[in-house]
Structure 1
Amino acid sequence: MIEGMEFGYEKSCLIIAEAGVNHNGDINIAKELVDSAVKTGANAVKFQTFKAENLVTKKAPKADYQKETTGYGNQYEMLKKLELSYDDHVLLKKYCADKGVMFISTPFDFESVDLLVKLDIPLYKVSSGDLTNIPLLKYIARLDKPMIVSTGMANLGEVELAIEAINKTGNDKIILLHCTSNYPTEYEDVNLNAMITLKNAFNLPIGYSDHTKGIEVPIAAVAMGAKVIEKHFTLDKEMDGPDHRASLNPKEFKQMVDSIRKIEKAFGDGIKRCNNNEESTKRVARKSIVAKVNIEKGQIISYENVTFKRPANGISPIFIEDLIGKKAVCNINIDDCITFNNIR
């Protein structure tokens, strides 16, 4: 579905470092974010592409969390400072390619989609805020590129309408991300089981876009089947800007990536069997049928004269019924294993 990435059983999930607007409009900070994301092991670095005048009205109020992090004023003034130019995008895409990490971005308007088309990005991310923006969804979908669609603030019916709009263009390359659009999100508001609801309802690959302060929930999401993890990423949570406080710093992001990769290793192939590394343990942890007392030649084997002890050098207790009633053909000392050679 995405070049270089496979979605399905045993496949690694795509981990996106959401740099977003945490570059604060500074291309040098943006490049530092790429450098740090690469060191964490992220697969992709995602930015946001927009023109403030196309995204919000001049008097659009800030969200409560934006007021807390950037003070009062309106969204337009805040966002205008966070724009990246076309040249910035070109530079960042090349910079990401040189560093071996995927460059992607979320477009918030038609002009921004056109900008990203010129860059030939491998996939498009749709923000939760644009889930109901059917014209924009169709505009992106007609490009016939994979679309990662966040579903924060949405009910199941709204998600269904978005999928139908995309499918009508002939594009079925959709990955749904469960998301709670609070910054930060409290654990009791995560509702991670809703990710499974999305999977069951639409039979599409699912993932999780996280806004909690920690790393536990994304790890749990992967254990539950998430094929994409998106998490806000910053160089320093104390920097000015709307999203830094709800982001992970490089050390935390690396801990998250490392933990996810360990969980993926633990999935295995699903076949229940004795692992090669268990064989030595098996021999000392399992039990054999042994003589409970000294058994004389000719004596009948019964539950009264045998017991079950480690190690597993003899006959397994699984076969006890095959031994009961047999006769000892030689003397068997206490604690000696009962074998098919010393009974008949």
Structure 2
Amino acid sequence: MVGPDHPPLIVAEMSGNHNQSLDRALALVEAAAKAGAHALKLQTYTADTMTLDCDEPGFVIEDANSLWAGAQLYRLYDEARTPWEWHAPLFARARELGMIPFSTPFDTTAVEFLETLNSACYKIASFENTDIALIRRVAATGKPLIISTGMASVGELAKSVSAAREAGCDNLVLLKCTSTYPATADNSNISTIPHMRQLFECQVGLSDHTMGTGVSVASVAFGATVIEKHFTLARSDGGVDSAFSLEPDELHRLVIETERAWRAVGRVHYGATMAERQSLQFRRSLYITKDLRAGERLTRENVRAIRPGFGLAPEHLEEVLGVVLATDVVRGTPLSWTLLRGSPT
């Protein structure tokens, strides 16, 4: 399902937008399926597997421009986590609705747990894309692996990709990602997608944190085969990631427009397509514009390049001026060589 022969795989990222309600989480699954998303992604961690319950410098977000300014990391992750006991019913509901459920594990205990649920594939988050041990453990499952590339240098990605392949990963997707929340179009740099695909010889997609769907749709023209977007029922409901998440109608438009973009990419082509051939008749061509008798000469007053396109091509106008007609013609007759005395045919 992933590759240039298929429409982009659309992944709805639930993240912490369930707001600690299982009913809301299930409603998110159902809304994502109704919108047409192909896959549902969770995040599997606990506050303790992510950080320490600590107020020392570095454990509190000090960036005043951050969505989470002033938040202590431990409490933020505890608020955003998806309880592990929810995973089974969420996976089951996604499968019932025809979506592929999978998750981002943030440590090896999460991988072991997700293996019991038969996760179809795995995602490595941008902030973990240099965690070689985690990448090796996930790759050892033999499942397809998606790695977000936010902040990573080419050298760091080379190490991560090599580790994944050496540990048994045969199906790898890298996601171009900008790890700001929200991201802007100006720092998305989706021109990197084809370069990344050529450099690492794998499928490349986009983990998109920008507002709206424009950047995601544009990425398809650069060859993105997987699009991941955060998803919520309504931004006004709040939640840790709601501010840069798509609502259901926006997710539905994303599915439609990315497939439309994929179909539009096509191949290099010149000349009329099959669909255009009927339109050729509306090109300009040379027509007789007055009733004329045999022996009269063609002039700019009695022959013009007009629509439709059943006469000689306009490029022949100078060539036929002054030529004598071989037969009577009426106004509105398409000019052809057979009407001219001494014509090439």
Relative to the length of structure 1, the TM-score reads: 0.87
Please tell me whether the aligned partners of residues 300 and 327 of structure 1 are also in contact (alpha carbons under 8 angstroms). Answer: yes
Q: Superposed, which structure 2 residues align to 1:122-161 within 5 Å?
A: 122-161=120-159
1:14 to 4, 9, 14: 9
TM-aligned CA deviation for residue 154 of structure 1: 1.3
Asked if 2 retains the 8 angstrom alpha-carbon contact of 1:46 and 1:103, the reply is: yes
Q: 1:129 to 1:71 in 2, by over 3 A?
A: closer
Alignment of 1:219-298 (within 5 A): 219-268=217-266, 270-283=268-281, 285-291=282-288, 296-298=293-295
Give the C-alpha shift of residue 280 in structure 1: 3.9
Contact 1:124 1:140 in 2 (8 A): yes
Aligned match of 1:314: 311
1:336 is aligned to 333
**Deviation of residue 69 (structure 1)?**
4.4
Query: What letter corresponds to residue 342 of structure 1 in structure 2?
Result: L
CA distance in 1, matches of 2:136, 2:299: 77
The 1:194/1:302 distance shift into structure 2, 3 A limit, reads same
Give the letter for the 2:11 counterpart.
I
Q: Give, in whole Å, the separation in 1 of the partners of 2:120 and 2:253.
A: 27
CA distance 1:223–1:65, shift in 2 (3 Å) = farther
Q: Match of 2:18?
A: 23
User: What secondary structure does 2:146 align onto?
Assistant: strand
Q: Determine helix, strand or coil for the equivalent of 1:245.
A: helix
Write out per-residue CA displacement over residues 66-98 of structure 1, whole angstroms, 9 at most, x where no aligned residue.
995456342112222433344311111111111
Amino acid at match of 2:307: R
Cα distance between partner residues in 2 of 1:68 and 1:176: 26
Q: Equivalents in 2 of 1:70, 1:205: separation in Å?
A: 33
166, 175, 181: which one aligns with 2:179: 181
Cα deviation for residue 318 of structure 1 reads: 5.6
Greater displacement, 332-341 / 295-304? 295-304
Per-residue CA distance 1:107-127 (angstroms, 9 max, x = gap): 000000111111111111110
**Aligned partner letter, 1:328:** L
Distance 2:236 2:97 in 1: 26
Describe the shift of the 1:7–1:63 C-alpha distance in structure 2 as closer, same or farther (beyond 3 A): farther
Q: Indicate the percent of aligned positions where both proteins have the same amino acid.
A: 30
- CA distance in 2 between counterparts of 1:318 and 1:252 reads 49
Contact 1:51 1:112 in 2 (8 A): no
**RMSD of aligned C-alpha atoms?**
2.7
Superposition pairs of residues 57-72 of structure 1, within 5 angstroms: 57-59=52-54, 61-63=59-61, 69=67, 72=70
Measure how far apart 1:335 and its partner are.
4.7
SS of structure 2 residue aligned to 1:135? helix
Partners of 2:92 and 2:30 in 1: how far apart? Answer: 13
The CA distance in 2 between the partners of 1:134 and 1:25, in whole Å, is 31
Mapped to 1, the partners of 2:48 and 2:74 lie a distance apart of 7
Per the normalisation by structure 2, the TM-score is 0.87
Q: How many pairs were matched up?
A: 338
- Determine helix, strand or coil for the equivalent of 1:153: coil
Q: Which amino acid aligns with 2:171?
A: K
Which residue pairs with 1:214 in the alignment? 212
**Can you list the C-alpha shifts for 1:8-32, whole angstroms capped at 9, x where unaligned?**
14x2000011111211332222101
